[in-house]
Structure 1
Amino acid sequence: MKNLFSMLSCAAMAAGGLSIAAPAAAQSTLETVKARGHLNCQVGPPRAGFYQLLESGDWEGSDVAVCRAMAAAIFGDPNKVEFQSVSASVRFTSLANGESDVLSRTATWTVGRDAALGIDFTAPVFHDGQGFLVRKDSGIKSAYDLTGATVCVITGHTSEATLQDFSRANNLDIQAVAFDDSAIVNETYLNGGCDAITTDKGVLASEARGFPDPSEHVVLPEILSKEPLTPAVRNGDNQWGDIVQWTVFALINAEELGITQANVEEIAANPPNPLVARFLGAEGELNTGLGLPKDWVVHAIKAVGNYGEIYEHYLGDGRPEALGIPRAGSANALWTEGGLMFSPPFR
């Protein structure tokens, strides 16, 4: 199915009022998605590594892969998904109002969002932290050198409040300049309208890829925050939340077990042990509560690979187009390698 590129209007969203309580639904989200024939997946404005719009009109990236895995799990076809590109200021409203089935983009899981916006977060797909991007020739070597600096930030991000907290705590008198659109943030910075950009470090690496000369810019070493970037769903449909969450866990568990895009079908046909047999649906009924086919995990892994494959392809150094963000020694490594990425048991 051809992907949909729809930039939703902020004004139109605002016209619906400030309340973002989820609408009443006569059927479950899974039933709605099946009846529609495709998944509506919300991403952000194009961003290399995470959700990038290609010249062909197709989307690719690590967050895109999560939705393709979901579509494969539900329909057996990773292409039965339409992508909605939504600005940061209205992303949660769009999800809570039912325009999107799932939010799969660089969105930080916080208590304020989880408890008050009519949405539920599921399982982190990337652990990041806020930082600063500056010009190499600026003489700025540390975030603590930003006294009196003007810093560009995106409206509606956790980065905005974290920047204020960092400035106040360290008496830096940083002047924030907020914009709704990351493209305007970048343009303002490149034209000298601000001394630095602040957001998650992974996002900074992605944005710098699009600059005329990425080598002229550097991300400062300090990490201001913890940013678990997590897919989200609407409140009130536990089964749908489980489907999104356990799709992420399936990608991670497959990496733990050494199951890849290339070998998943072969292993499913001849599971080496009962644990793998249950995971891949060769025995047991772990799919029943989710409302998915017995072999949903096989379809998901066959479509996009395991978590490690996705990471290296888009975020690591698996190819020249990837962001080159090291995984080893980071929170994004598997728990068996000192990181935070793990899956609860499939049993």
Structure 2
Amino acid sequence: MKKSVLFGALTVTGLVAGAAQAATLDDVKERGELNCGVVTGLAGFGAPDANGVWEGFDVSVCRAVAAAVLGDPTAVNFVPTTGQTRFTALASGEIDMLARNTTWTFSRDTDLKFDFAGVNYYDGQGFLVPTALGVSSAKDLDGATVCIQTGTTTELNLADFFRNNNISYEPVPVETNAEAQQQYLAGACDAYTTDASGLAATRATFENPGDHVILPEIISKEPLGPLVRHGDNEWGDVVRWTLNALVAAEEFGVTSANVDELSAAPGTNPEVNRLLGTEGELGAMIGLGNDWAKNAIAAGGNYGEIFEKNIGENTPIGLARGLNAQWTNGGLIYAPPFR
């Protein structure tokens, strides 16, 4: 009798879990719009342009997912979130996914009950200081005031770095990057610390970027990527494999310029054919049409195109690919096989 009750309970639990897994994908399709959590404003990664249209490296991931699911990269409701509000927004269902330079950590994955869909930028924490401060190393910041965003991994990293080097600091808590920039430029703190990519993005907006330097120390590993809620496996697959599609497209030379042509005339590479839906039924496996990846790539280009357009070396942000180069070029960017 006890075994039957237990089996019944497990069966009900499994059915409930199975229903929950499909909820977000069904909701997005029914709504006709993706609710995507983004940063409140960070040049190159996520910010509205002069016309109020959101653009940036992370924003492009949201648009790619919308294109994959709805066939329309503009069908996105962007929800600005801070370091403090982002996880509540995701857990509560206010947003369907979060794409705003968020670090994949053990506690966020397990204790907060989120699933990271992958890494779209390998980063590390650094320090920005005025050149006039005359500092060439973070180890020279003994006694400095440091602007730091609350609710982020940078708080513990900062404390660990100063403790390990037996030096002291005074934190200046801020909630958003805009507030950090304002405080830093006003001289309320000697240094600003966050992900090095964020420092580069922030410095690019300064009137005189050359008056500020990013110190050489990288004091942490910050694998950044989009995330979804636990127990929503089907939706997690959609976000994960959309990101993978952008990465694979760059490796295979599929771009926003040639994706239509390659989709219309299948080539000799079977993996490209499967990616673009001209062979196999990969789309059906994740509840989408077979042109899902084609639509995602057409939305803003492959991973490399998105990188170069928003944060690459020819932009004001000026980031080199580095660890974010394809694995074939010595980087860590790598997509599992499409088969």
Normalised-by-shorter TM-score class: over 0.9
Map 1:118-267 onto structure 2 (within 5 A): 118-267=113-262
| Structure having the larger proportion of residues in helix | 2
| Counterpart contact for 1:41–1:101, Cα < 8 Å | yes
Residue of structure 1 in register with 2:58 after alignment: 63
Residue of structure 2 in register with 1:285 after alignment: 281
Indicate the SS of the match to 1:244.
Answer: helix
Residue of structure 1 in register with 2:5 after alignment: none
Deviations 1:38-64 (A, max 9, x none): 000000111101001112111000101
Pick aligned residue for 1:323 from 298, 317, 323: 317
Distance apart, 1:184 and its partner CA: 2.0
Residue identity matched to 2:325: A
Residue of structure 2 in register with 1:12 after alignment: none
Deviations 1:67-106 (A, max 9, x none): 1111111111111111000111010111011000000111
Distance apart, 1:157 and its partner CA: 0.9
Residue identity matched to 1:306: N
| Counterpart contact for 2:102–2:225, Cα < 8 Å | yes
Distance apart, 1:280 and its partner CA: 0.7
| Counterpart contact for 2:117–2:227, Cα < 8 Å | yes
Further displaced range: 210-219 or 256-265: 210-219
| Counterpart contact for 2:144–2:169, Cα < 8 Å | yes
| Counterpart contact for 2:22–2:233, Cα < 8 Å | no
CA RMSD of aligned residues (A): 1.4
Residue of structure 1 in register with 2:103 after alignment: 108
Residue of structure 2 in register with 1:345 after alignment: 337
Distance apart, 1:27 and its partner CA: 5.7
Deviations 1:220-243 (A, max 9, x none): 011001100010001111010010
Indicate the SS of the match to 2:84.
Answer: helix
Distance apart, 1:181 and its partner CA: 2.3
Residue of structure 2 in register with 1:14 after alignment: none
| Counterpart contact for 1:239–1:289, Cα < 8 Å | no
Q: Distance in 1 between matches of 2:95 and 2:131?
A: 40
Distance apart, 1:25 and its partner CA: 5.3
Q: Distance in 1 between matches of 2:91 and 2:296?
A: 26
In the TM superposition, structure 1's runs of 4+ consecutive aligned residues that sit over 6 Å from their partners are none
Q: Unmatched 5+ residue regions in structure 2?
A: 1-16
Q: Unmatched 5+ residue regions in structure 1?
A: 1-21
The count of corresponding residues between Structure 1 and Structure 2 is: 321
Distance apart, 1:308 and its partner CA: 0.3
Residue of structure 2 in register with 1:294 after alignment: 290
Aligned identity (percent) is 52
Distance apart, 1:317 and its partner CA: 2.6
Indicate the SS of the match to 1:132.
Answer: strand
Indicate the SS of the match to 1:79.
Answer: coil
Q: Distance in 1 between matches of 2:122 and 2:71?
A: 29
TM-score by length of 1: 0.90
Residue identity matched to 1:236: G
Indicate the SS of the match to 2:251.
Answer: helix
The answer to whether structure 1 residue 87 and structure 2 residue 79 are counterparts is no
Deviations 1:102-155 (A, max 9, x none): 001110000011111121111100011000000011110001111111111000
Residue identity matched to 2:151: G
| Counterpart contact for 2:21–2:233, Cα < 8 Å | no
Residue of structure 2 in register with 1:9 after alignment: none
Pick aligned residue for 1:49 from 44, 60, 67: 44
Indicate the SS of the match to 1:203.
Answer: helix
